[in-house]
Chain A
């Protein structure tokens, strides 16, 4: 059969986000795949060198559209580490609540994308609806639905509004109460099993070799989570589990997303229960005259996709000298995707790509 070159994306119905893959196919078998990022490269890391420490916040959250809060968190952590600022206890709890809420929102978005791709439109609509409920919470808490610019060096921008706890618990109960419905229609559905089992399989050794983190690594049986290894915010004070699976295929990855959502709901409930009284913001110097001492740091958090790191260098001025984000989608979307697509069939491209949970803006930055 003849070899053909097939362009998958950026203008393709099966493509999520601004991303493209060039496939070399024979029949419907893929011989070779080349990931082709760069459609959304905005050069944020360069732009940040021209802006003060605080001015960078509106840029930082835009790196990952779906889960902006962990980006803000990692940036705030780096600035705090360089400037040696301690964060009040209550602010740490609020940060954990916001991070888990955004993980939940991001996972629901992932469920939407995956279910939609498989043709489970009803489940997709449910997931989108539940994500919207969380965005309502964010609107009440921060004033914005998508980009919150809420976590800042020294704490969070403002305290929990009145009635937030009740509303949050109400929302979490609504979402938690629908899990049996999700299970019955989607996760325990034979069609999902048939379509995802054994697809996009990666072994433990291959995953380690390619620098994989997050669900993809945990789906191969490695219990690696930065919230446990290097606890930040208050993750050492709340009780939660890290779901793992052994098979390393799309089926296990999507199941891990489901299990993590349940853990997130529990974590948020514990944080709302334990949260102490006190201030939420420690005053930082005047942001326009704020010079941070010379130094460098690498901090990392567990975003909804894996290890999110930030390497930051300060040369003692009011602007960062160098900022470099280590985003989880970077190895997943380039190396792992190319590896898994080899010898797969064209019908499985969307299946593999969405189960890897790749976000294009994170790769391009």
Chain B
């Protein structure tokens, strides 16, 4: 695993790697290095994209995209024990203008994850042709999974205005 760490550091500029813990390697990369790193890892045998996630760091005014990459290694595989890795590849994009490139040409299964992040965090993935609504019923002013969307306030605002059925009856009478 140290080998991979060194290889990553020598091939790509400006990346920072975290401490390795329980076979989990966190890598922070600048925006434009993410897709080359992912295709590099895919060629190395890390061909299973587990998850694309996003964290809203509201105080730093940034959104952090997290790609979790693992490999389809099997028991008794030729991979050494110390190469059983998860890689958490992270990059930060601006919160005001959330744009990123799509991962679909490299990993096909990125499509629904990007759809979800587009809907819940408002990130626009350039090149993903299917950024249609996935889970939500209606559009919101602030994408609902961002930190400044307060569910409790939203519920109050939205549903306190709707009167109960009994109240309506009384009004009519």
Contact = CB atoms under 8 A, between A and B. Distances in A.
8 contacts: A47-B151, A81-B22, A208-B47, A208-B48, A210-B109, A228-B74, A313-B55, A331-B109
Contacts of A230: 23, 84
Contacts of A14: none
Contacts of B88: 296, 298
A238 to B, nearest CB: 14
A223 B72 CA distance: 9
A217 B84 CA distance: 19
A41 B48 contact: no
Interface secondary structure of A, over-half rule: mixed
Contacts, number: 90
Contacts of A330: 112
Interface in B3-62: 22-24, 26, 47-51, 53, 55-56
Nearest to A228: B75
A217 B108 CA distance: 16
Contacts of A297: 24
Interface of A: 37-38, 41, 43, 45-47, 50, 81, 208-211, 213, 217, 222-225, 228-230, 242, 296-298, 300, 307, 309, 311, 313, 321-322, 324, 326, 330-331, 334-335, 364
Nearest to A38: B135
B107 to A, nearest CB: 7
Contact of A296 (B26, B137, B145): B26
B50 A224 contact: no
Contact of B151 (A43, A217, A296): A43
A38 B137 contact: yes
A246 to B, nearest CB: 15
Contacts of B144: 43, 46
Interface string B67-104: 01000111100000000101010000000000000000
A222 B72 contact: yes
B51 A309 contact: yes
B91 to A, nearest CB: 14
A229 B76 CA distance: 9
Nearest to A209: B108
A297 B68 CA distance: 10
Nearest to B133: A38
A324 B88 CA distance: 14
B55 A321 contact: yes
Given A41-B136, A46-B151, A211-B48, 4 more contacts: A229-B75, A230-B23, A311-B51, A322-B53
B109 A209 contact: yes
A364 to B, nearest CB: 6
Given A326-B50, A326-B68, A211 B135 contact: no
B134 interface: yes
A41 to B, nearest CB: 4
Contacts of B107: 209, 211
B109 A298 contact: no
A337 B88 CA distance: 28
